[in-house]
Structure 1
Amino acid sequence: MLMMTNEDTVLLIIDVQGKLASLVYESEIVEKNIRKLIKACRVLDVPILYAEQYPKGLGRTIEAVRELLTEEAPHEKITFSCCGSPDFMEHLRSLKRNEVIVTGIETHVCVYQTSIDLMEYGYNVHLITDAVSSRAREDRETGFHCIEKAGAWLKSTEMAIFELLRVAQGEKFKEISAIIKA
């Protein structure tokens, strides 16, 4: 495996919506880490995509995350996998990047199905274990196991951010350090 680079990576945030976002296991940690990843990707010029599962019924992406996504529009979907949405796939393909950092909820449903489909389409999936969750811890753990067995890389928020940063000096390092410490 080659490490991720800023030029070949995209951040994907899946279905961090409505009341469900607060009901998942370790919801506060997941939200905090997704926010860190968004901020870091802004500093490192990594594009961000985000999806919403049937927002009319489940609600929009939570405000704490959405307020950082003012440059992006959500990809609305009714399929569990983001890859079932033609506009999502068109947008992803247009970026011409092969590494996908995957975050969101729920690990055993939408995150799982999206990750499997992405790998089937030839993308490398980097599942951020402290930035995904499910209502039940067991479902989250089962999702991790199945996604990893299918060929994804399991990483933490800090691991992914520092992998993209690579160098411990300069302005970007200072900005990233402040994000990590927050």
Structure 2
Amino acid sequence: MHLNEEKVGLLIVDIQGTLARRVSDSEAMICKTAKLIQCCKLLDIHVVVLEQNPDGLGGTVHEIETHVASDPHFKKFAFNGVAGIDQFSSEILAYIGKKGLSRWLVVGIEAHVCVYQTVVGLLENDFAVEVIHDCISSRESSNALLAIDNMRERGAQISSFEMTVFELLQSSRHPKFREVLALIK
């Protein structure tokens, strides 16, 4: 199934506080995620930010927050952001359901905990999911690899930052091609 920019959203999971700096390859993950966000904004793709217990863990890191400050932010406490097991995850699920978007790109940390459980929750709620592997991480890279395998087995598509962006563009004749290309380089 091809990505269609009119039916896709970007879900950012918990890229917060000092933990975001302690995951494997954190600088590269944060940098690629920031670029992906900018590309999504150019393509008018809806962005949603989740934050796990922000009072305890801190807010979304500055490099990302600068690009998403005006986008909806949701506080959560359940690892599965769309579990529907508490007021917070129920609000998140209701919100993304109202957007009418059938496919969600998912990025964030930690891959084997909140990203994994949120992806499974999305899939269980009949959303298509594309996990951007170079925009997720865990403290131990082996946990991220295990999460990717398990998410794929559950039905998520696994992609990369560039692969996703070029699939969204579909052609060098896309009106935003040059602007997106400038972000990738």
Q: TM-score range by the shorter chain?
A: over 0.9
TM-score, with normalisation over the residues of structure 2?
Answer: 0.95
Per-residue displacement from partner, 1:33-81 (whole Å, max 9, x unpaired)? 1111110011111000010000011000001100101221310000001
- Which 5+ residue runs of structure 2 have no aligned equivalent? 84-88
Give the drift of 1:90: 1.5
Give the drift of 1:102: 0.5
Contact persistence 2:47–2:72 (CA under 8 A): no
What corresponds to 1:161 in structure 2? 165
What corresponds to 2:154 in structure 1? 150
Per-residue displacement from partner, 1:75-133 (whole Å, max 9, x unpaired)? 00000011031221121011101111000000000000000110010011101000000
Counterpart CA distance in 1 for 2:62 and 2:91 is 23
Give the drift of 1:170: 5.0
Q: What's the C-alpha RMSD, in Å, of the aligned pairs?
A: 0.9
> Match for 1:169: what amino acid?
R
**Runs of 4+ with >3 A deviation:** none
SS at match of 2:6: helix
> Match for 2:46: what amino acid?
P
Counterpart CA distance in 1 for 2:52 and 2:101 is 24
Counterpart CA distance in 2 for 1:166 and 1:116 is 28
TM-score, with normalisation over the residues of structure 1?
Answer: 0.97
Counterpart CA distance in 1 for 2:27 and 2:61 is 12
1:103 pairs with one of 97, 104, 107: 107
Where do residues 1-182 of structure 1 align in structure 2 (5 Å cutoff)?
A: 2-84=1-83, 85-169=89-173, 171-181=175-185
Give the drift of 1:171: 4.0
Q: How many residues align?
A: 180
- Which 5+ residue runs of structure 1 have no aligned equivalent? none
Counterpart CA distance in 2 for 1:73 and 1:9 is 16
Counterpart CA distance in 2 for 1:83 and 1:70 is 21
